[in-house]
Chain A
Amino acid sequence: MPLVLERRSERSATIAIASPLIAIALTLATMAVLFAILGKNPVEALDVYFLEPLTDPYSLGEIAVKATPLVMIAIGLSLCYIANIWNIGAEGQFLVGAVAGSWLAVRTNGTDAGLWVLPAMLLLGALGGALYALIPAICKVRFGASEILTSLMLVYVANFGLDYLVRGPWRDPHGMNFPTTAEFDPVATVPTLIEGGRLHAGAIVTLLVVMAATVLLGRTIMGFEIRLVGAAPKAARFSGFNADKLTLFTFAVSGALAGLAGIIEVAGPVGHLQPDISPGYGFTAIIVAFLGRLNPVGILIAGLFLALTFIGGENAEIAIKVPLDLTKVFQGILLFYVLACDSMIIYRIRFIRTLRKPAHANV
């Protein structure tokens, strides 16, 4: 092959900084071509997708609302992914957290309970998510089962569990038998920050999580251990760090964050528990984690950017009649380009003029 991949002697600093920008530029160029193929004006389409949502406060608020659960879940996932632990079940942990926290809301519904309800719900949500995430973690640590598949299968189970609860035991007795719990009391609802908008206190919690994660990864032993296990697993083992404990810890933390995002979403924008509370946040957060290059501040930016594309996609559906599937195509292409550009930090492509065959090729 005349083109080969070669490891650089040291990471390229310029590309490290420019990589996300190059990736975005490449994605926009590809999207412009796609728009043209679909018969739409590329400039107008890109404008509707990316620029218009930034021009008015309502859309900005909506971007923040959409980004809140994404960033929170992605931060948790990044802790796992840095250590090469693949938690793919964040969606399920999100749902279980929502269910766990909602239990208290349903229990105290209409009983004039105090202000302790909401904090307790959030705690239960985090706890529920953490416990649910420990199942695939224990399966891996104790039995060696692939955490990718176990965590993924449990997503489906969580979905059905939620479905059963809202159609049966937790169904609102005054709701004409429709599958939803009673509307949560005000003490069980996450307060909004701006009158008339949907931006809620969950956004502040997310920002706190970003800061906490930055501190954890940069300044604690645990953070160092996570990063070391990911970069040099053998060295980590020799240093005496316990890989099993790390697996349990990172799964529990990411499960807790996903569960917390779940209960905040239910107690905030939705307002009650129903079968459909997540448009795939747990899976989109995986993209956000990678787009943010597993770095807390990067994830914050990536989450906002991805939320922008969701809002832009919905606007485009109305304004220029572009199908919503295009947003998925965009996200997939963006992730590919980001991964490729990131690879260029460590490797470079060389053009080999003369083909050198290996010493002996007895095939």
Chain B
Amino acid sequence: MQMFEAIMLSVIAASTPLLLAAAGELVTERSGVLNLGLEGMMIMGAACAFAGTCLSSSVIVGALCGVLAGVAMSAIFAIFTLGLAVNQVASGLALTILGTGLSGLIGAGFVGQRITPAPQLHLPVLTDLPLVGRILFGQDAFVYLSVALVIGIWLFLYRSRAGLVLRAVGDNHTSAHALGYPVLKIRALAVLFGGGCAGLAGAFLPLAYTPFFIPGMTAGRGWIALALVVFASWRPGRLVAGAYLFGAVSILQLHAQALGLGIPSQLMSSLPYLATVIVLVLISRTRGIAGSAAPASLGVVFVPDR
């Protein structure tokens, strides 16, 4: 069915930035750090990626600029929360505000410019397969990267020594420190990784999704990505399901409107957010009131004693 394929393509495009950002944040939170500054890092990624592409005429250079912007922003966050033991919630919010403002300043000079968007894959026979051809073999690099990223994160967390250490740090930083693991260094690396992913997610928007830059073009996706990590119970596999679910809800509400289903558009627009609340309640319930699946040290300030 042509329509199925078309809808799936839209859903995948809408879900990719969510998946990229949430994947990075998952690693950060698994190490015990709560970075609420996703929205700020993403929009900085978008602004710098677009600026980079405009100046170099290359999407790859632009994407790299976006990643670096995300890493730089998260570095600020790391210095304050890990280096100076500052409250993580407040720092994350400060990062969001700073990022939003800075991205406006940087991007202002590039609004209105056109770029050639990221190319999409085209394999001779495979892409033209009916129904699944373009879905599986006709996407742009960001989509494939997002899937590879999640697989890579899963392997890292559950099949590698380093991943085990990271999870230990997130679950009990005092014990990890006693065992001699460099808790702050591990967390810093996790935060920087999360920043890079957020920057990449932001870069996707002006480089592939809607090929121009507008201030504020992330439109709250960073916050949804945060919710996604909790929705996924901090597990990479569930993250993919969650991201595509959210992407689907936001696309399908538009289709429902076009079909003239007569439901108020505001109700449809608020569905993804309501869905998040309901899901959060449901999954927290199954864990019991005593605890959740969160890393036990999430958000707790850690200062190694000497």
Q: Is the CB of B89 closer than 8 A to any CB of chain A? A: yes
Q: A7 in the interface, Cβ–Cβ < 8 Å?
A: yes
Q: Map CB proximity to B onto A74-93 as digits: 1 under 8 Å, 0 otherwise.
A: 00000000000010000000
Does B57 reach chain A (CB closer than 8 Å)?
no
Partner-binding segment picked from A60-68, A139-147, A180-188, A200-208: A139-147
Let me know if A110 is at the binding interface, CB within 8 A: no
A139, A142, A146, A153, most chain B CB atoms within 10 A: A153
- B91: A residues at CB distance < 8 A: 336, 339
User: Contact at B270–A149, with CB atoms within 8 Å?
Assistant: no
Enumerate chain A residues within 8 angstroms of B220, measured Cβ to Cβ: 156
| Residues of chain A lying within 8 A (CB to CB) of residue B284 | 139, 143-146
Interface residue B264 (Cβ < 8 Å from any Cβ of A): yes
Contact of A290 among B90, B105, B280, B292 (CB under 8 A): B90
Q: Mark A325-348, 1 if CB is under 8 A from B, else 0.
A: 111111111011001101110110
* B215 neighbours in A (Cβ, 8 Å): 325
Query: A4 on the interface (CB 8 Å rule)?
Result: yes
Contact yes or no, A359 B180, CB < 8 A: yes
Q: Confirm or deny: A287 has a beta carbon within 8 angstroms of a beta carbon on chain B.
A: yes
Cα separation A340 to B86 with both chains bound (whole Å): 6
- State whether the Cβ of A154 lies closer than 8 Å to any Cβ in chain B: yes
Is B285 part of the contact surface with A, judged by Cβ < 8 Å? yes
Contact of A148 among B87, B89, B95 (CB under 8 A): B89
Known A-B contacts A5-B84, A149-B226, A154-B273; A335 and B97 likewise in contact (beta carbons under 8 Å): yes
Q: Roughly how many angstroms separate A344 CA and B87 CA in the complex, as a whole number? A: 12
Instruction: Please state if A332 and B101 are interface contacts (CB–CB under 8 Å).
Output: yes
Please measure, in the bound complex, the distance between the C-alpha atom of A328 and the C-alpha atom of B291, giving whole angstroms: 37
A362 and B273 CA atoms in complex are apart in Å by 46
The answer to whether residues A163 and B230 also contact, given A328-B104, A335-B93, A340-B86 and a CB cut-off of 8 A, is no
Q: How far is the CA of A360 from the CA of B177 in the complex (A)?
A: 11
Residues in A whose Cβ lies below 8 Å from that of B93: 283, 286-287, 335
B interface, how many residues as a size bin?
A: 35 or more
Is A152 among interface residues, defined by CB-CB distance under 8 A?
yes
The reply to whether the CB of A194 lies closer than 8 angstroms to some CB of chain B is: no
Check A329/B90 contact, CB under 8 A, given A5-B83, A153-B277, A347-B85: no
Within 8 A of B (CB), among A289-317: 290
Given the known inter-chain contacts A149-B276, A152-B223, A359-B180, please indicate yes or no for A328 contacting B303, CB distance below 8 A. Answer: no
Contact of A160 with B100 in the complex, beta carbons under 8 Å: no
Please, which residue of chain B has its CB at the minimum distance from the CB of A289?
A: B90
Residues of B within 8 A of A290 (CB): 87, 90
A329 with B102, Cβ < 8 A, contacts A160-B269, A339-B90 known: yes
Q: Which of B96, B104, B292 contacts A323 (CB 8 A)?
A: B104
User: Chain A interface mostly helix, strand, loop or mixed?
Assistant: helix
Bound CA–CA A86/B299 (angstroms): 12
Measured CB to CB, the nearest residue on chain B to A167 is B266
Q: Considering residues A4, A160, A164, A342, which has the most beta carbons from chain B within 10 angstroms of its beta carbon?
A: A160
A232: CB under 8 A from chain B?
A: no
> Contacts A331-B97, A340-B80; is A157 near B303 (CB within 8 Å)?
no
Which residue on chain B has the smallest CB distance to residue A142?
B289
Establish whether residues B280 and A146, one from each chain, have CB atoms under 8 Å apart when the complex forms: yes
Q: Which of B89, B165, B227 contacts A153 (CB 8 A)?
A: B227
Decide: B289 and A144 in contact? CB cutoff 8 A: yes
Residue of A nearest to B231 (CB): A149
A358 within 8 A of B: yes
Report yes or no: B97 in contact with A323, Cβ–Cβ below 8 A.
Answer: no
Residue in contact with A340 in the complex, picked from B84, B99, B267, B294, CB distance below 8 Å: B84
What residue in chain B is nearest A164 (Cβ atoms)? Answer: B266
Q: Nearest A residue to B305 by beta-carbon distance?
A: A7
Q: Interface code B269-306, partner A: CB below 8 Å = 1, 0 otherwise?
A: 11001101100110011011111101000000001111
Instruction: For B97, list chain A residues within 8 Å (CB).
Output: 287, 328, 331-332, 335
- Cβ contacts A to B, 8 pairs, < 8 Å: A153-B274, A287-B94, A290-B90, A327-B101, A332-B95, A332-B98, A339-B84, A340-B86
Q: Residues on B close to A: CB < 8 A? A: 36, 40, 76, 80, 83-87, 89-91, 93-105, 108, 165, 179-181, 215, 220, 223, 226-227, 230, 264, 266-267, 269-270, 273-274, 276-277, 280-281, 284-285, 287-292, 294, 303-306
Known: A5-B84, A160-B266, A329-B98. 15 other contacts (CB 8 A): A7-B305, A38-B105, A143-B289, A144-B288, A149-B276, A153-B274, A154-B273, A156-B273, A287-B94, A325-B102, A333-B98, A335-B90, A335-B94, A336-B80, A340-B84
